[in-house]
Amino acid sequence: SSSKIGEAIDYLSEKVKIEADPEKKSLEYFLLGYSLYQQGKDKEALTALAEVIKAKSKIEDYAIYYQGLSQMHMKDYAAAKVSFKRVLDSKASDSTIIESKYNLGLIEIEEKRFKEALLQFQFILKKWKSTEKYPEVLWEVIRVQKYLHLNYCKGAKEIYSRYPTYIEAKSWGHNLRVDQVDGVATNCSATPKEEQMRIKYLQLGGEIDRALDELKLLRADMIKNLIGKSKTQLAKSDKGE
């Protein structure tokens, strides 16, 4: 909780002043920087993390990563890019390196360098395929493809059918064609199989009522389409076509 993080900050702020062991002191500075970052105190976080980096500690690479996150939150994108690129060349864990590439992609979007962002995200897409973070990067791929005027229906259909509870697509409904990405309708068509899969994953995600509501709407649309086709066929028959 926020209060516990505050208590940790107070404790660590005092502890680093008296800690004699260099490695312990670096760890305490790192935990202080991380706690400050969690509370959105980015300037203070950078000051604490700089102590870890200056000491050339064993956890220097992770301090540089959180330095990048704080710089990113402060919209100092140039500095953040330098930090994340340093992580890519470090001995940090694979997951931290991938997260750094993801953040570099987000910065590229902010700088409207969409082709560069797409390259970052497409690499990550393969790495996160079987993880809970997959829809997150898939969404960014869709956004970038939209900005580049590329066809993004494949990704949109995957979000629609397999990840209907994903937070960014929370406003999406049963009709993919009118569902929006950054305020623009996808104009993509879901197949009956994809519609059924969406209902299934809504139920698995605990959104039973939403699944039932969308199922009713899908059935209503199906009946409406059948009636429309029947009327068209009757009109053609009356004209002798």
65-118 pLDDT tens trace: 999 999 999 999 999 999 999 999 998 999 999 999 999 999 999 999 999 999
| Cα 123 versus chain centre, distance | 14
Q: Which has more pLDDT, 229 or 129? A: 129
Residue 224 pLDDT class (50, 70, 90 cuts): confident
Give the residue-averaged pLDDT of 25-51: 95
**pLDDT of 168-219, one tens digit each?**
999 999 999 999 999 999 999 999 999 999 999 999 999 999 999 999 999 9
Q: Which residue has the tokens 């909780």?
A: 1
pLDDT at residue 12 greater than cutoff 60: yes
Q: Which residue has the tokens 């500075």?
A: 29
| pTM of the entire predicted model | 0.84
Please report how the helices 94-110 and 60-73 are oriented relative to each other, as an axis angle in degrees rounded to 10. 20
222 vs 118: CA distance, rounded Å: 37
Q: What are phi and psi of 135, to 5 degrees?
A: -60, -25
pLDDT at residue 146 greater than cutoff 90: yes
Q: Which has more pLDDT, 74 or 237? A: 74
| Alpha helices for the chain (secondary structure H) | 2-18, 22-38, 42-54, 60-73, 77-88, 94-110, 114-127, 134-147, 153-162, 192-204, 208-238
Percentage of residues in the chain with pLDDT exceeding 70?
A: 94
Q: If DSSP codes are grouped into helix, strand and coil, which group holds residue 83? A: helix
The terminus-to-terminus CA distance of the chain in angstroms comes to 72
Q: Which has more pLDDT, 139 or 223? A: 139
Dihedral angle computed from the Cα positions of residues 83, 85, 91 and 95, in that order, rounded to the nearest 10 degrees: 90
Residue 133 carries which DSSP code?
T
Residue 73's contacts (CB-CB under 8 Å, 6 or more residues apart) are: 37, 40, 42
Residue 25 pLDDT class (50, 70, 90 cuts): very high
Structure tokens that stand for 232 in this block: 């068209």
pLDDT at position 225 is 74
227 vs 221: CA distance, rounded Å: 10
What stretch of H or E contains 184? strand 184-185
pLDDT at residue 234 greater than cutoff 90: no
CA–CA distances in Å: residue 223 to residues 112, 195, 219, 228: 44, 15, 6, 9
Residue 221 pLDDT class (50, 70, 90 cuts): confident
Tell me what the pLDDT averaged over the chain comes to: 92
pLDDT at position 228 is 66
